[in-house]
Amino acid sequence: MTAAQADLQGDLRASLRIDRPTVADGAALWRMARDSKVLDLNSSYSYLLWCRDFAATSAVARDGHGEPVGFVTAYVRPDRPDTLLVWQVAVDEAYRGLGLAAALLDGLVARTAAEHGLTTVETTITPGNTASERLFTSFAERHRAGLEREVLFETGVFPDGPHDPEVLYRIGPLSLTTSA
């Protein structure tokens, strides 16, 4: 990376703001999920509902104009109120490589842990999604947390055709005061 590229990345990072999504962000989140080419694309309606009903446990990164350029959607598991299930993470192509996904995840988990007393983060990742595997493995390392993996949903349980298995990543207990 040249010095000019590093300066540009620093400028981009400095101009970003992370906060909670609003319903008005739903369409942008849907587009980022679609454009990622690796996430399961849910209906646009589901992203609108998510931004309304789960904004408190989700995060969006905004550029200098307030436009969404990355997001994390998550919820506190009803049967395990100490566990945050991360549903999707996406970053607009122009903002990839800046550490934005990690910043979004760290910020969201710190906020929701403080508000809900979380000790564990879960997510599912399909085999071969290297970016997500790296994101959550490095999250566990930064927070000095254990990481367990097991297949949550086998290929055969999906009713809508071939689907890779979903591997559950369980990270915890969290140590949020000592991130590196």
pLDDT tens, per residue, the chain with 180 residues: 555 445 445 556 667 899 999 999 999 999 999 999 888 899 999 999 999 999 999 999 999 999 999 999 999 999 999 999 999 999 999 999 999 999 999 999 999 999 999 999 999 999 999 999 999 999 999 999 999 999 999 999 999 878 899 999 999 999 875 444
How far, in Å, CA of 83 to CA of 11, rounded?
Answer: 35
Per-residue model confidence (pLDDT) at position 1? 54
Per-residue model confidence (pLDDT) at position 178? 40
Whole-Å CA distances, 115 to 82, 101, 112, 158: 11, 21, 5, 34
Per-residue model confidence (pLDDT) at position 162? 83
Count how many Cα atoms sit within 13 Å of the Cα of residue 37 in the half-sphere of its side chain: 1
How far, in Å, CA of 86 to CA of 139, rounded?
Answer: 12
Per-residue model confidence (pLDDT) at position 175? 80
Count how many Cα atoms sit within 13 Å of the Cα of residue 86 in the half-sphere of its side chain: 32
Per-residue model confidence (pLDDT) at position 12? 60
Asked whether the beta carbons of 102 and 95 are under 8 A apart, the reply is: no
Per-residue model confidence (pLDDT) at position 31? 97
How far, in Å, CA of 140 to CA of 11, rounded?
Answer: 28
pTM of the shown model: 0.88
